[in-house]
Amino acid sequence: MNGAQALVKMLEHHGVTHVFGIPGAKVDSLFIALLDSPIELVLCRHEQNAVFMAQAFGRLTGKVGVCVVTSGPGVTNLVTGLVTATSEGDPVLAIGGEVPLDDRFKHTHQALDGVDVMKPVTKYAQSALTIHSLPEVFGNAVRAAESGRPGAAFLGLPKDVGLADFPGEISPLWGRSAPCGPAASSELQRAALLINAARRPLVLMGLQASQPASADAIKRFLTATGLPYASTFQGPGGWAAASQYAGKLGLFRNQPADRLLDDADCVITVGFDPIEFDPSLWNSGQARPLVAIDVQAIDQDQAFLPQAELIGDLDASLEALAPLLQVQVEEAFRRSADAEVAELAATVAEGAQLGGMPVHPLRVVHELQQVVTADTTIALDVGSHYIWMSRYFAADHARQVLVSNGQQTLGVALPWAMAAGLLRPGQPVISVSGDGGFLFTATELETAKRLGSRFVHLIWNSASYNMVEFQEQAHYGRIAGVKLGHYDVEAFAAAFGCKGYRISDADQLGPVLREALQADCPVLIDIPIDYSDNLKLMQNVHQDFIH
């Protein structure tokens, strides 16, 4: 077999089921090799969308999602998706074609040093410069992507290496990650002393803690310790331990759970990355101890300097720590946690009363809650809708709601919805974007129709980049560069063989959602949205939107 066929065999041994990509002359040997493989090739409309789909596979499975592109602009089009995956802990393997080795240092067609381009946005970037080194580069790329805090890796494949004869057999050990144990005993003891001395301890759950494989360990730890907890937008929600949950934290530091965080005398972070919620916003000037439980040591920061760091396998560290904790939490602090959740629930309940046009965000949240089941996947784009949904939409299980909370990357929702449908066939998928972010990746509707995808995509339409608009208004008193034009969502959907709706009354939304979820093709729902309360997202700690 040649190098491309050998690489496909390595992917098969690693359990890869889908590859997303766009072909080209420098990487066509790999596409030809996929013809004889059980791996399904998903031919995309843009390389960025291919890596978004691979990212969703990585986030939902914990194993690398794979994308394959050609040289030059094919590789450069991966950058946004790969930095999103690396920043947000999603394992991705990107394979990029390269010019033949003899042309590597020539100014020739599509010549590019892809490794130098990719190093800043990946955990690992290397080219296989000989056929003998191909398995080594593959193995190290996959191990880097899946181990520690997961992220993206890049493997460059020169055209002639892909066509070269591959000697020997393919070992299934290439890419296998070594298991990791719990944190050091001394740090476990140190952490237990700090936490047991606290009377108002709060656990802050981050993105790494929301991996489906860790769900049971997270639940056992919270149940055994009784500790109240809050989470970032990507962290475990109330599904982990509803009676101890205080709500979400993020962005403007004005949520009900932020009051609890301010009052805590010890904060235990679990799988938390500062990119999710800048510690300078919530821990500056605090003398309280921090305990960090994670898979790798986080960069030290003036506002994030833990007195104890439990570095190791997250599940094993939590299992080892739980028996050491005997925390006497102040009853008033527990009652505060209950009050924060009750306040959030009351806010969401207001949505049922909000009628008229345009539609209030809480009405959309309310209507979604009526149709979403435990097996529904929600994919969120970035925009004002992402703030409303992240704060007020409750998830039933780990990674049920997918969101870009690190890079806040526009355009992810539609490709993520397609990927979720491939991974969870027959289960409902709903994606959400603004009218701006939707057009970043909307051409993939052709791919979705070709694949037979079924999902419902909600467009919260404000004819603007509204998340920028309301923050400009708050900071400067005027706005710039945010107003967009109108497009016909129903006609756009029809052009791709999909179904489109436009909401003209808030009471239509529920029936349209139910009808759309029964459709046998992708459905777009255009919702004129009332963002007049957006400034309250920045200003109000108390969540009262009707009065």
Residue 545 has pLDDT above 60, yes or no: no
User: From CA 83, how far away is CA 382, in angstroms rounded?
Assistant: 16
User: From CA 150, how far away is CA 86, in angstroms rounded?
Assistant: 7
**R_g over Cα of the chain:** 24
**pLDDT band of 315, cuts 50, 70, 90:** very high
Question: Is residue 346 in a domain?
Answer: no
Q: DSSP string of 119-154? A: GGGSSEEEE--STTTHHHHHHHHHHHHHSSS--EEE
User: In 3D, which of 393, 386, 337 has the Cα closest to residue 537?
Assistant: 386
Question: Is residue 177 in a domain?
Answer: no
Between the alpha carbon of residue 420 and those of residues 54, 56, 200, 380, 526, the distances in Å are 10, 7, 39, 12, 22
Same domain, 381 and 490: yes
Start-to-end CA span in the chain (Å)? 70
Domain C-terminal end among 115, 132, 163: 163
Can you give the pTM of this predicted structure? 0.95
The angle formed by the CA atoms of residues 33, 176 and 145, to the nearest 5 degrees, is: 80
Q: Alpha helix locations (H) across 356-455?
A: 361-371, 384-392, 413-423, 435-441, 445-451
Tokens, residue 461 = 């339409």
Same domain, 396 and 515: yes
pLDDT digits (tens, 9 = 90+) for 434-475: 999 999 999 999 999 999 999 999 999 999 999 999 889 988
In the prediction, which pLDDT does 365 show? Answer: 96
User: From CA 466, how far away is CA 103, in angstroms rounded?
Assistant: 47
User: In 3D, which of 13, 148, 19 has the Cα closest to residue 91?
Assistant: 148
In the prediction, which pLDDT does 109 show? Answer: 77
Half-sphere exposure of 357 (CA within 13 A, CB side): 12
Number of domains comprising the chain: 3
Question: Is residue 16 in a domain?
Answer: yes
CATH of the domain at 423: 3.40.50.970
Beta bridge partners of 294: 311
Count H helices, E strands: the chain? Answer: 23, 18
User: From CA 94, how far away is CA 54, in angstroms rounded?
Assistant: 9
Residue 2 has pLDDT above 80, yes or no: yes
User: From CA 45, how far away is CA 49, in angstroms rounded?
Assistant: 7
User: From CA 385, how far away is CA 388, in angstroms rounded?
Assistant: 5
Same domain, 315 and 453: no
User: From CA 257, how far away is CA 343, in angstroms rounded?
Assistant: 10
Same domain, 53 and 101: yes
In the prediction, which pLDDT does 544 show? Answer: 55
190, 308 Cβ separation under 8 angstroms: yes
Question: Is residue 547 in a domain?
Answer: no
Same domain, 404 and 475: yes
In the prediction, which pLDDT does 220 show? Answer: 96
Domain C-terminal end among 311, 339, 367: 339
Same domain, 195 and 150: no
Same domain, 377 and 427: yes
- Give me the chain's average pLDDT, please: 94
In the prediction, which pLDDT does 547 show? Answer: 45
Average pLDDT of the residues in 365-389: 95
Same domain, 405 and 531: yes
Task: Tell me which DSSP letter residue 19 carries.
Answer: E
Average pLDDT of the residues in 96-108: 88
Same domain, 209 and 143: no
In the prediction, which pLDDT does 364 show? Answer: 97
pLDDT digits (tens, 9 = 90+) for 282-298: 998 888 999 999 999 98
% residues pLDDT > 70 (the chain): 99
Same domain, 222 and 370: no
In the prediction, which pLDDT does 540 show? Answer: 58
Same domain, 207 and 115: no
User: From CA 531, how far away is CA 359, in angstroms rounded?
Assistant: 9
Question: Is residue 76 in a domain?
Answer: yes
Looking up tokens 């939409």, which residue turns up?
393
In the prediction, which pLDDT does 518 show? Answer: 97
Amino acid in position 328 = Q
What range does the domain containing 286 cover?
A: 185-339
Question: Is residue 347 in a domain?
Answer: no
CATH of the domain at 332: 3.40.50.1220
Indicate the burial class of 116 (C-beta count within 10 angstroms; 0-12, 13-18, 19 or more): exposed
Domain C-terminal end among 296, 312, 339: 339
pLDDT digits (tens, 9 = 90+) for 217-266: 999 999 999 999 999 999 999 999 999 999 899 888 888 889 899 999 99
Same domain, 308 and 372: no
118, 125 Cβ separation under 8 angstroms: yes
Between the alpha carbon of residue 464 and those of residues 36, 97, 363, 457, 485, the distances in Å are 47, 38, 20, 18, 8
Question: Is residue 345 in a domain?
Answer: no
Peptide linkage before 358 cis (omega within 30 of 0): yes
Question: Is residue 179 in a domain?
Answer: no
In the prediction, which pLDDT does 542 show? Answer: 47
**pLDDT band of 409, cuts 50, 70, 90:** very high
User: In 3D, which of 107, 120, 398 has the Cα closest to residue 235?
Assistant: 398
Residue 278 has pLDDT above 70, yes or no: yes
